[in-house]
Amino acid sequence: MAVSSWSSSITSSLASFLPSSATDAATATLAWFTGTPPTPPPPPIDTSARVELVMSLILLAQLALLLLIFQFLTPVKGGVGRWLPPPETDKGAYERFVLTYTPVWIGVFAVIIAGQLYESFTANTYMLVCAGLCVPLFLYAVLAPSLPPHVPPSDALAGSSSFFERYPFKASVWLAIYSHIGNYWYTHYFYAVLKASYSMPSFRLNDVPLPLYFATFFYFSTYHILSNVLLRRVCTGYAPNIFRSIFLVCLVVVLSYFTAFTETLTISSFPYYSFEDPFMAMTVGSAFYGIYFLVSFPAFFRLDEWEGARLSLYQTGMDSLGAGMLILILLDAVRLCLAIPLTIKG
């Protein structure tokens, strides 16, 4: 008993000025010398059941809120709400193309994750996969057939038939700018606030894996077209009043949180993207990530959606930059409230 007490006192003294690795080594040496078995480390805490319970409650509460407000909506008389624009318009054709292409990139990622093909990936492989999956979307933006616009151009844009003013090209520019801002700036808030990290081999730009700049583009293309579909169905199917406005705001909030959570959940199977606290990443982190979409879903939806809302290419770029700046302000406001320092390694 005296030897054990002596060993514990020496170990405690060493821990006061040695780093943890050195303290562990000293503890093991003393345990061998005194014959006292070392104390095993505590088993890791499995939070999966807790995450499932909490997230189920959060999502069910959000769904209940939407269903409650939905009861007060007034359907448009003599009309049926539209999910998609007419297929013979530029916006209608583009949205259908993105929805058709979505199962392709999801399928490629599913095969890579399920088969653990990423274990043999190099920096070049990641670039090839992510950049390659962007090619069909970029090509469609340039090679899309010349179709009538979803809404007539304003007087300032009248007579412009260049593909630079067509919806597929403008939508791609909007999403490309937004994707770049998100990776170049917003990722560092994930590093600081959620303690996220990427450990796969990769080329980096501003300490963010370069393939993510491309992956975000096709991810966000799908997210925003699906958001368009739901927002349009509400806007065209129900009469404008205070209840529809409240429902639309709540719908954007729920869509933002659900989108962020779904991505966080699916990417958790990829071991080279991790969080210090997975439970916080799923619950609170989804709300933090959802700030992106609180701004971008309604901003992207309005692009060429209504008469008078058709933008030039220059206006489209400025619109995306403005949305990006607003998101940055909101993310930084959260960081300041939490008193978390922001360090960008570059």
The stretches in the chain having pLDDT less than 70 are: 1-47, 153-161
Fill in the amino acid letter for 157: L
Please list the residues that pair with 274 across neighbouring strands: 197
Q: Are 275 and 281 in contact (CB under 8 A)?
A: yes
pTM of the entire predicted model: 0.84
Tens of pLDDT, residue by residue over 148-180, are 888 776 554 544 557 788 999 999 999 999 999
What contacts 223, CB < 8 A, 6 or more positions away?
259, 293, 297
| Tally: H helices and E strands in the chain | 12, 4
Residues 6+ apart with CB under 8 A from 36: 3, 4, 7, 30
**Distance in angstroms (rounded) separating the CA atoms of residues 111 and 113:** 6
Q: Side chain identity at 53, as an amino acid letter?
A: L
Model pLDDT, residue 7:
45
145, 299 Cβ separation under 8 angstroms: no
Q: Distance between CA 109 and CA 121 in Å, rounded?
A: 13
Coil, strand, or helix at residue 121? coil
pLDDT of 47: 63
Q: Provide the pLDDT for residue 302.
A: 95
DSSP state of 152: P
d(CA 165, CA 295): 23
Which pairing describes strands 273-275 and 208-209: parallel, antiparallel, or unpaired? unpaired
